[in-house]
Structure 1
Amino acid sequence: MLYKYRNWLYNTNFSRAISKLVILKISPNLITFFGLVFGVIAAYLIYKHYLLLAIIPLVLSGLCDLCDGWVARLSNKETKFGVIFDVTLDKYVEGFVGLGFSFVTPGFLVPGYIWVIIAVFGSIIISLVSNVGAALSQEKPFKLASRFDRGVIIVLGLILANFLGDIYLTYTAVFVAAITHLTVVSLVISYYKILKNKK
């Protein structure tokens, strides 16, 4: 949903920072790795209940996720391994952040960690369906909730939980769980229609 704002971000002064990374010959895979490092730090801070502080490395991890692809394209360093490396470390980041959440999320109908597991599980399936679907159809349909969207929701959830109580961590997990699986369903339907028309 918020994907267009990624392009807006690139067209701001942020693009100058990207250009400097290219000039410095920073490896896209190194940026991807730092995204994992920041993600692990964010997960630890969430586990220790430093919710506002956790936002800083979480945002930095997200920026690394944005930058690695842009740097790869601008420096002509796009590789198939880079794509695999990026997707793999992205899932590790989401897993670690989910693990951090699972320790501090209060229960709502079921234990809080259950909602977190459902959310992370949905995120993994989104990547699976997206990658397999794109490989089979050579198309990328509209995605209801991208990783960028989910990152924004998590940041907002951390802010609300810090000021209004931990139950907002649960609400965040429930919302992310719901929207990830709705995204999976919408992607499956979209790819079904696309592949059916290609016959």
Structure 2
Amino acid sequence: MLDTHARHLVQPVIGGTAKFLIKLGLSANQVTWIAFLLGVSTGFLLYMNHPYLAVIALWISGYLDAVDGSIARLKQKSTPWGTLLDITFDRIVELSVLIGLGAKFPEAQFMLLLLTASIVFSMTVFLTVGALTEKKGMKSFYYQAGLAERTEGFILFTFMILLPHWLLWITGIFLVVELFTALQRLMEARRILKKG
């Protein structure tokens, strides 16, 4: 929801960072890789008892994940390969957080497994609609908005990392939000795809 409706508020900063990194000679794919490496360190940092560093790495990774797309658009070099890397790396970063939490807090593993399943469900709908529809957005495929987008996920991951005594409750809330988003996207998909 925030990615869709609040992006215009932060886009000037994202665009400025993109222009700066272009001047440094970085390509969109290079920034994607930097974001990925920072993001996957989150689970390890969490497991090694560095929750604040984990959160910082997660958010810088997420920010650079927004910047890489701006670089591609500014350089007019958006590619299907870049889109594939972006989407795949996003999921691996999320898995890193979930695996780190599961390794650190075994008592929460079942709830984390349910959350992972709900993310898979929501992303399956999201990616399938993107592949089947002819609509195009700012990205190179149709971007289905929903209650839980990347920023909401990062906010909830942050709470899960920094408030481990509330981990089961926060994971449960995240699970409900993900399932709601999946059903929201499924209903929109039914409307869009039945027209075609």
Q: TM-score of the superposition, structure 2-length normalised?
A: 0.87
CA distance in 2, matches of 1:7, 1:116: 32
Which residue pairs with 1:55 in the alignment? Answer: 55
Sequence identity percentage: 24
1:91 and 2:91 correspond = yes
Which residue pairs with 2:15 in the alignment? Answer: 15
Equivalences for residues 68-107 of structure 1 within 5 A = 68-105=68-105, 107=107
Which residue pairs with 1:171 in the alignment? Answer: 169
Q: Secondary structure at the match of 2:6?
A: helix
CA distance in 2, matches of 1:170, 1:32: 31
CA distance in 1, matches of 2:179, 2:24: 40
Change (3 A) 1:5 1:106: farther
CA shift for structure 1 position 14: 4.1
Alignment-mate amino acid for residue 7 of structure 1: H
Alignment-mate amino acid for residue 72 of structure 2: A
- The alignment yields a C-alpha RMSD, in angstroms, of 1.8
Contact in 1 for aligned 2:14/2:67 (Cα 8 Å): no
Change (3 A) 1:7 1:157: farther
How far does the alpha carbon of each residue in 1:120-143 deviate from its partner, in whole angstroms, 9 at most, with x for none? Answer: 222233222112112222344431
Contact in 2 for aligned 1:106/1:170 (Cα 8 Å): no
Alignment-mate amino acid for residue 149 of structure 1: E
1:134 and 2:130 correspond = yes
Q: List alignment gaps of at least 5 residues for structure 2.
A: 136-142
Equivalences for residues 24-39 of structure 1 within 5 A = 24-39=24-39
Contact in 1 for aligned 2:32/2:86 (Cα 8 Å): yes
Which residue pairs with 1:113 in the alignment? Answer: 109
CA distance in 1, matches of 2:69, 2:86: 9
Alignment-mate amino acid for residue 155 of structure 1: T
Contact in 1 for aligned 2:118/2:178 (Cα 8 Å): yes
CA distance in 1, matches of 2:144, 2:39: 28
Change (3 A) 1:89 1:38: same
CA shift for structure 1 position 63: 1.0
Q: Secondary structure at the match of 1:76?
A: coil
Alignment-mate amino acid for residue 115 of structure 1: M
Q: List alignment gaps of at least 5 residues for structure 1.
A: none
Q: TM-score of the superposition, structure 1-length normalised?
A: 0.86
Contact in 1 for aligned 2:42/2:58 (Cα 8 Å): yes
How far does the alpha carbon of each residue in 1:79-105 deviate from its partner, in whole angstroms, 9 at most, with x for none? Answer: 011111111111111111110011233
Q: Of 155, 158, 172, which residue of structure 2 is paired with 1:155? A: 158
Give the paired residue count.
188
CA distance in 1, matches of 2:147, 2:111: 19
Alignment-mate amino acid for residue 20 of structure 1: F
1:40 and 2:43 correspond = no
Q: Secondary structure at the match of 1:155?
A: helix
